[in-house]
Amino acid sequence: MQPTTRRCGARDLSAMKVSGRVLADSDPWQFATGIGLTNRSASPCTLGGWVTFTMVGISVICIPATPDCPDDPTAARPDQSVTRVERRAPQTYLVKPGEHVALSVFWDSIVGRRCEKFWYDPSHVEIRVPGDTAPIVLKPPQIQPCRGAVGITAIGEAA
């Protein structure tokens, strides 16, 4: 009988940017950023499905009276939009200690012809894996999404 491998949780994982690229003009998104979820525990664990991706705070100082400045610059952004980009059915991955599984975040830049509404960069992102409510913090997130809109792939579906 094989031992059951436990599901990875926030206590086991760290997040970091592992890749970034400009997409073709024909793509609905302008940029793709790969986010790696690394198993920093001493034992393997499984990871799969869809994360919860929450952009929090702002990375610059803004004056609350300024249009588009969030009421609470340290809170989750109420005006964000996260869309699932499904390329195939989510799978489950065995993640050994020190290894990572990536997902992609797609976004259009706040700078450029495709952005009609400015949005302050988030100070960090909270990522929650299936089965765990504790956040994995990615800081700095190194994304500048126009309108606060991003698309995410399932875990293991890095573009």
For residue 30, the model assigns a pLDDT of: 86
- Reduce the DSSP state of residue 84 to 3 states and report it: strand
**pLDDT, tens digit, 9 for 90 and up, residues 79-91:** 789 999 998 899 9
For residue 72, the model assigns a pLDDT of: 66
Judge whether 86 and 148 are in contact, CB under 8 Å.
Answer: no
For residue 1, the model assigns a pLDDT of: 38
For residue 116, the model assigns a pLDDT of: 73
Q: Which residues of the chain have pLDDT under 70?
A: 1-4, 25-26, 60-73, 112-113, 118
- Reduce the DSSP state of residue 11 to 3 states and report it: helix
| Structure-token match 């960090």, residue found | 124
CA–CA separation, 22 and 27 (whole Å): 10
Pick from 124, 86, 120, 79: nearest CA to 103: 86
Domain edges within the chain: 10-152
